[in-house]
């Protein structure tokens, strides 16, 4: 356990950031799963709408915990899924 005042504050801050990032990870994962389910069920119109949500969640993730190049790679990958469907 941290002893100094600054170490205690750092621990609080890192826990808070972890929680925020975990919520964003879950939202992103849920959006991706629902998008892929629409692709699998051949609902192209609904998949287009879900792709917008996937992009939104990936962009938010890239601002906090995901590398920008990985975000771009994922967005490209999911756009290709939509185009192939």
What does the alpha-carbon distance between residue 24 and residue 27 come to, in Å, rounded to a whole number? 5
Domain for residue 53, yes or no? yes
The pLDDT value given to residue 23: 97
| pLDDT attached to residue 85 | 83
68 assigned to some structural domain: yes
Count the alpha carbons within 13 Å of 77 in the hemisphere toward its beta carbon: 11
pLDDT at position 80: 96
Reported pTM:
0.86
Total domains in the chain come to 1
Q: Is 3 within a domain?
A: no
Distance separating alpha carbons of residues 29 and 26, to the nearest angstrom = 5
Asked if the structure places residue 77 within a domain, the reply is yes
Q: What is the chain's pLDDT, residue by residue, as a tens digit (85 residues)? A: 899 999 999 999 999 999 999 999 999 999 999 999 999 999 999 999 999 999 999 999 999 999 999 999 999 999 999 999 8
Distance CA 37, CA 16 (A): 32
Give me the domain span that covers residue 56. 16-84
Output the domain CATH number for residue 74.
1.20.58
Residue 7's CB: how many other CB atoms inside 10 A?
11
Q: What is the structure's pLDDT at 73?
A: 98
């Amino acid at each position: 356990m941290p002893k100094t005042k600054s170490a205690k504050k750092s621990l609080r801050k890192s826990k808070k950031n972890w929680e925020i990032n975990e919520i964003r990870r879950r939202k992103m994962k849920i959006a991706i799963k629902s998008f892929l389910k629409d692709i699998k069920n051949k609902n192209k119109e609904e998949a287009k709408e879900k792709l917008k949500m996937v992009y939104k969640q990936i962009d938010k993730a890239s601002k906090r915990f995901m590398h920008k190049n990985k975000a771009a790679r994922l967005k490209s990958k999911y756009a290709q899924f939509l185009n192939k469907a």
